Structure 1
């Protein structure tokens, strides 16, 4: 798949996910989205029952909350890893799927890598035929809030 040289690149893990979606027909994309939904990790115990300490993503049609943590110690000199945590109801598979994509594509990347993710990344998963624009706006909201929290936690 050829990339538009004027578009910012996705991190490797996100690009791999985008390529996987692009290789499928719309009904199969929904199946893959469901797989991401089912693969979303459970909240760690420190967040269980503490949604008030997480940020709600109001752009999503379903109640989803996220928390971003940034390691104190750098992975490499000058680069700290970002970790993402999501709470989304099982009866909201689309929302959970979006969270699963972002978790798999971003969790463990460095601060600079997360902040470099292009704002249009959610539109690169070929989901426009499979889900409504309003639903995709929820994923855009998740990414925006993740990046904002990373900036706040690192003063970047």
Structure 2
């Protein structure tokens, strides 16, 4: 797992349950703005498993570093927090590091005890689609 993401996972895992939701809300503000060419979701993949409209795109550069973009409305802070966690945790990560992220990331963070199973499944779908995009580009 990329070091930045491992640090975020550890922070959540060790946080008291009543603080986890506050931490999630902080990450909902960590989603970088889309570049102009992606506004309107051009070239982005929808994640229909999410309850709210969610779009993502991963690009693997020649040096195998991965750049990610996410779009989710501000009215969906929990789902947007998943994007913020991935955006921050995967910043500068290699394709191999992204692919090594455990599929049960959100359960490892202890989020299954703080948010609904439906939201955790949505977060898992976001990660699965992101990893699939990376796999397809390095194949």
Q: Same fold, TM exceeding 0.5?
A: yes
The answer to which of 17-26 and 142-151 deviates more is 17-26
RMSD: 1.2
How far apart, CA to CA, are the structure 2 residues paired with 1:148 and 1:114?
A: 10
TM-score, normalised via structure 1 length = 0.84
Aligned residue for 1:39, secondary structure, equals coil
Q: Which has more strand, going by share of residues?
A: 1
Q: How far did 1:52 drift? A: 4.3
Task: Name the residue aligned to 1:61.
Answer: 51
1:96 to 73, 80, 90: 80
The number of residue pairs the alignment matches comes to: 139
2:90 to 106, 109, 132: 106
Task: Name the residue aligned to 2:60.
Answer: 70
Q: Which has more helix, going by share of residues?
A: 2
Question: Which 5+ residue runs of structure 2 have no aligned equivalent?
Answer: none
Task: List structure 1 runs of 4+ shifted beyond 3 angstroms.
Answer: none
2:25 to 34, 45, 57: 34
TM-score, normalised via structure 2 length = 0.94
How far apart, CA to CA, are the structure 2 residues paired with 1:153 and 1:107?
A: 18
2:8 to 2, 17, 21: 17
| Structure whose alpha-carbon radius of gyration is higher | 1
1:124 to 103, 108, 117: 108
Is the contact made by 2:30 and 2:85 (CA closer than 8 Å) also made in structure 1? Answer: no
